[in-house]
Structure 1
């Protein structure tokens, strides 16, 4: 979930929500009226935040709409000279708040907020907007549920690259071409990394016919797709079932079939579909039907497009993701390039193993390998754990600037073979003692992947006893050392702090 994308105006998210009727129209006097903060993005678009306020005495009400959030209730007090307002909204089972202080100077509304208690205060200036501008669109009822036909894609977990972790809103045509060049020349394509995925912030406005266009960062998406395809790679794109994406750009709400046709015409091969703004229209219980709508639309184009559901594991997506056409579904919130984030996400996937199968995968989010926040041992743990989990391998670093060590981690063919095993069975925890864990994965040829993880802060000895793990071991190979080891009846290894020993054990 990309809450970290919000500009400063969308800050301070903490707490409760109630639903109240919209305020009655009032004259645009004092704080009364519709106010807009227009934030140019440098790509031909702007992110607009709307404050529809109603003041009666020292009581202030109304709504706030900013990027992906719509605060249906404003609770506030004060006068034009000094006031405080708090927007409240429901977000699934939880609630959010955004609090602003402000003052009216002439006909400009000065708004002050901070992202959290440690952040500096930021100021935005709002001007009056026509009544109704920025209002949420009318609700479209979700379709009746049915099973979406399997598209036959992603029989092994998708591999490739995604722009968000490294580039976020700075991604552009030149960067995507450069990543495709790197993947074609550095061995990644030949190792199986084939998807070049553009995340949020590529979107422009809709034309007179309602067709989605690109912004100035992407002057010709069809030409970009042709370039990527000529490299032997595939192009992915991003949208949301809501009116807005996470970063506040144009979503696919009400244009699902139209956008799917546009993607197909451009030559798109992969769609990441992020819940974000849809929560302002639909409840979590309606998620399956909402995602089904795009699943049907992608199939109807006739073009093979991998469908990636991104809704952070809400509503137990693993129980219905395949039924709505999903090839993979996010099981968690956003990963960060830290040991704590990666391990909290990765080691929590154990109970989901039975929902993974060829064409349909649990997705614990993109790889952070090479972004600098973890050590090489920690990145090897990251790569090993995702491979045991049969997780998608979507690199998130700058592929032009990899050290040999990072390149060797991402391109370890023996580890990749575990992730890409045709059997499609996700691995699980087999043993744990404090910070020491052993995970195993059954492979299609009858062998097992066995990972010895040390989550502790000092080196630790870990012993894999084959009989207790249900493993028949005649041969064993250390996939990071690239050497065979004698399996005996057990195997003991000294595993570095935050490190891993990954074995392929053959009976």
Structure 2
């Protein structure tokens, strides 16, 4: 999960610390405000400021100003980034954090008395700032940084020659389940994970196929003197949590990175692959999501990426437990052509679905759904976590979203809060006839067979000889669509089933229907 909006990533420092930054000084921002920037500022998530005290990663600004210029730096878990291009605005201060790749723009608004900053990560963000920077003394900041977990190796390590990792068919159909990131981000804890596991059972979603409960970023604590990674205080008994989930007929996923730190700064597995794989196996983990994150600051070629993922693939194969291996590397370097060779069972086709405009994230997957030739049992193109039940999409767009993931044979990993799930959302994600298309044992990924403007027809062969047919309207206006069976390479079906409506349709040489904007129809045509 390469995060930008609302999170702070890792970059390589690209300029000297302490660079003097001249400020544009419009009348709306008097110089004395700039003087109030002086000092150390500890950044915490606004909704959960206590997370710093229970295992979070310290992020801070250290700034000084003479009223006309500002110099300073942003500190993040051992890295230091100079602040550049700072300008005063009517709503605060906008600036860049320098590095390669470039940081997103950042904006901060100073309180009237200079006690805190509202901090936005991302340019022109509206609404409540996701972060709050409060003024601390240098001694307080030093204490927080001293107590934080730290990676023990932030440099390139020797890489093994490429080879085929011992491979097992651990995901014969696309994994289904729930992941903590979209709802909880770094605030995820033992109580929340148990609650979500219970809801999978009580709602019937477990029995519909949703089996994996994955703890995403934010569970990691520190390594001990022997290098063993322990959970932070939010997870006092990880083995007990895993046992609790297993006792409910579910499986457990966990998260790490081949880099020194994860996307939000927690300890990664860089240089500790075998240790961490053994730890995960001892806890009883069933799936590892392995997120590229800070590895991009150290390793920059396809071969290096393969070798880094191969190191963990080998470690998992030797750990003594069957663990599904999920490669989270944003679709880089034609991953489907080598994902199985490094031990992977699924791999991402693009960036994070949750970041930015949600319809754009769904619509993007029509064109970034992975190479279907590489897909099959234990070789899945992963379109990322589901957005269903999260504000930002219409009910029609939810249905299109699920239909596309289903036709693409993608893993179906829910990301909504199951405790507040509406009956309509539950009915959508629990539709057994639709799920059967995604989980079809033949393992064929669907393909686009027709496109006219913003409308598309996709087909997917199924194990019983039938064919799933999806009609998509990606446009901003309603459209009438017609599927002529012969035109999409199918004989006239003996039976046609509308899977979302749960109803049989009249048979004939063609089927025509009106589809709303951003809508979809999913059919199953039987020979």
Q: Which moved more, 1:453-462 or 1:394-403?
A: 453-462
In the alignment, which residue of structure 1 is the partner of 2:319?
301
Secondary structure at the aligned position of 1:41 is classed as: helix
Secondary structure at the aligned position of 2:457 is classed as: strand
The answer on 1:245 being equivalent to 2:265 is no
* Deviation sequence 1:175-229 (CA, Å, 0-9, x none): 1111111111221111111001111111111122211111121111111111111
Q: Select 2:235's aligned residue among 202, 218, 221.
A: 218
Contact 1:331–1:363 (CA under 8 A) maintained in structure 2: yes
* Deviation sequence 1:146-169 (CA, Å, 0-9, x none): 111212210110001111112212
Pair 1:495–1:271, CA change in 2 (3 A): same
Q: How does 1:229-308 map to 2 (within 5 A)?
A: 229-285=246-302, 286-308=304-326
The answer on 1:150 being equivalent to 2:167 is yes
* Deviation sequence 1:421-440 (CA, Å, 0-9, x none): 11111111111112221111
Q: Select 2:121's aligned residue among 115, 126, 142.
A: 115
Contact 1:270–1:306 (CA under 8 A) maintained in structure 2: yes
The answer on 1:409 being equivalent to 2:419 is no
Contact 2:72–2:82 (CA under 8 A) maintained in structure 1: yes
Contact 1:182–1:399 (CA under 8 A) maintained in structure 2: yes
Contact 1:37–1:49 (CA under 8 A) maintained in structure 2: yes
The answer on 1:383 being equivalent to 2:399 is no
The answer on 1:3 being equivalent to 2:3 is yes
Q: C-alpha distance in 2, partners of 1:19/1:373?
A: 36
What is the deviation of 1:316?
2.2
Contact 2:217–2:262 (CA under 8 A) maintained in structure 1: yes
* Deviation sequence 1:25-59 (CA, Å, 0-9, x none): xxxxxxxxxx9958662552242347899xxxx99
In the alignment, which residue of structure 1 is the partner of 2:22?
none
Q: C-alpha distance in 1, partners of 2:253/2:157?
A: 27
Secondary structure at the aligned position of 2:57 is classed as: strand
The answer on 1:184 being equivalent to 2:201 is yes
Q: Select 1:373's aligned residue among 386, 392, 410.
A: 392
TM-score by length of 1: 0.83
In the alignment, which residue of structure 1 is the partner of 2:225?
208
TM-score by length of 2: 0.80
* Deviation sequence 1:247-288 (CA, Å, 0-9, x none): 111111111110110111111001111111212222143111
Secondary structure at the aligned position of 1:143 is classed as: coil
Contact 2:6–2:122 (CA under 8 A) maintained in structure 1: no
Pair 1:410–1:425, CA change in 2 (3 A): same
In the alignment, which residue of structure 2 is the partner of 1:496?
516
Secondary structure at the aligned position of 1:3 is classed as: coil
Pair 1:97–1:167, CA change in 2 (3 A): closer
Q: C-alpha distance in 2, partners of 1:51/1:459?
A: 50
In the alignment, which residue of structure 2 is the partner of 1:487?
507
What is the deviation of 1:295?
0.6
Q: C-alpha distance in 2, partners of 1:341/1:88?
A: 28
What is the deviation of 1:456?
2.6
Pair 1:293–1:6, CA change in 2 (3 A): farther
In the alignment, which residue of structure 2 is the partner of 1:31?
none
> What runs of 5+ residues in structure 1 fail to find an aligned partner?
24-34, 78-82, 103-109
Pair 1:486–1:339, CA change in 2 (3 A): farther
Pair 1:476–1:258, CA change in 2 (3 A): same
Q: C-alpha distance in 2, partners of 1:385/1:350?
A: 9
> What runs of 5+ residues in structure 2 fail to find an aligned partner?
19-39, 45-49, 87-92, 110-115
Q: C-alpha distance in 2, partners of 1:458/1:255?
A: 52
In the alignment, which residue of structure 1 is the partner of 2:343?
325
In the alignment, which residue of structure 1 is the partner of 2:55?
45
The answer on 1:421 being equivalent to 2:440 is yes
In the alignment, which residue of structure 2 is the partner of 1:140?
157
Contact 1:59–1:76 (CA under 8 A) maintained in structure 2: no
What is the deviation of 1:70?
4.8
Q: C-alpha distance in 1, partners of 2:82/2:158?
A: 23
Q: Which moved more, 1:493-502 or 1:349-358?
A: 349-358
The answer on 1:164 being equivalent to 2:184 is no
Q: Select 1:439's aligned residue among 458, 461, 469.
A: 458
